[in-house]
Amino acid sequence: MNSGQTTIARPYVAAAFEYALAKKGLSAWETVLHSAASIVQNESVAPLLQNPAITQQQIADLICELLAKNCDEAKKNFIHLLAENKRLAALPDIAKQFTEARAAQEKTLSVQVISAQGLDAAYQQKLVQALSKRLQRQVELQCEVDPTLLGGVLVRAGDLVIDGSVRGKLTRLVDFI
Does 1.20.1280 match the CATH number of domain 107-176? no
Looking at the chain, the domain(s) classified CATH 1.10.520.20 span: 3-104
**If you ran DSSP here, which 8-state letter would residue 151 be given?**
S
Q: Are 145 and 163 in contact (CB under 8 A)?
A: no
Looking at the chain, the domain(s) classified CATH 3.40.30 span: 107-176
Select from 90, 92, 111, 75 the least CA-distant residue to 7: 90
Kindly indicate the confidence band of residue 106, based on its pLDDT and cuts at 50, 70 and 90: confident
pLDDT tens-digit profile of 120-161? 999 999 999 998 898 888 888 999 999 888 888 888 887 788
pLDDT of 164: 80
Residues 6+ apart with CB under 8 A from 171: none
In the predicted structure, residue 1 carries a pLDDT above the cut 80: no
Residues 6+ apart with CB under 8 A from 74: 19, 23
Q: Which fold has domain 3-104?
A: Peroxidase; domain 1 (1.10.520)
The amino acid at residue 69 is K
Report how far Cα 116 is from the mean position of its chain's Cα atoms.
Answer: 25
